[in-house]
Amino acid sequence: MQQWMNLLSQHAVGQVLINEPLAKYTTWRIGGPADVLVIPSNQDELSTLMTILHEHDIQWTQLGRGSNLLVADKGIRGVVIKLGEGFDYARFEEDRIIAGGAHSVVKLCVLAAKKGLSGLEFAGGIPGSVGGAVYMNAGAHGSDTSKILQSARIVLHDGQIVTYSLEDMQYAYRHSILQEQPGIVVEASFQMKTGNRDTIMAEMNKHKDRRRITQPLQQPSAGSVFRNPPGDHSARLIESAGLKGYRIGGAEISTQHANFIVNVGQSTAADVLELISYVQQEVSKQFGVQLQPEVYLMGEK
């Protein structure tokens, strides 16, 4: 690690933190320390950082706004990268939105609605960053990021800066090319449609209200834990299996929404992983369906 620190200290790569606990950066409030957490403040710092990591074969992981993510109890080895405030912006060019990778999706939805721009209503209650939404093709209510993305600027694993078109992203359900060819989304351009401000706000608020009623938003969670299997819903299967309220350690299947696991008090990543495995076993045994996790596990078990 000392060698990494010497390398990083010789270049402008942003804020560098050693053995930084990651639980405070995740919506589950779970996770051990990062060997090194680096917070670049601009594209040049990020590109320099990625070039160094690539040239010296140093393992790296990106951390967004901490949703849809489980960080292991032993933390994450190597370098963890979190985009800084310089990537948290949004600007509007007629019916187009250009947003930084660290910008909040929820905040962007509200800004778009206020300007009478339609296309982001589906994401009104989705936690996370613009970069994360672009990376995983985030979606809800019959729509997703692929429906509005125009292009994305990405810093690739070797420090190269590229702009990918919608076609380049190779989108599928919760999937993009970046899951095979690693890179970090620093900016995205979204093509919107002009519409009635009140209608757009009403549609977005309807989705937000539904989430408020049906999801345990007041408790630490990571959003939906399992992908929906074809033609069905994971929440229905889990509830039908009688698993609502089932608890292992500090991790509990939400009594409000069966596809959420909530941290009800000092939960560990091990608790969550054991509960995920138990749900998979029970649903498979009772219904013959293999549930696949939607959350990403990062770090050393």
Q: Which residues are catalytic?
A: 174, 224, 294
Find all residues with CB under 8 Å of 186, minimum gap 6, and list them.
43, 46, 83, 87, 100, 101, 131, 153, 154, 155, 161
**Rounded-to-10 torsion of CA 223, 224, 225, 229:** -170
Q: Write out the DSSP string of 148-193.
A: TEEEEEEEETTS-EEEEETGGG--BTTB-GGGTS-EEEEEEEEE-E
Specify the 3-state DSSP secondary structure of 244. coil
Paired residues of 151 in beta bridges: 165, 189
The span from the CA of 67 to the CA of 221, in Å, is 8
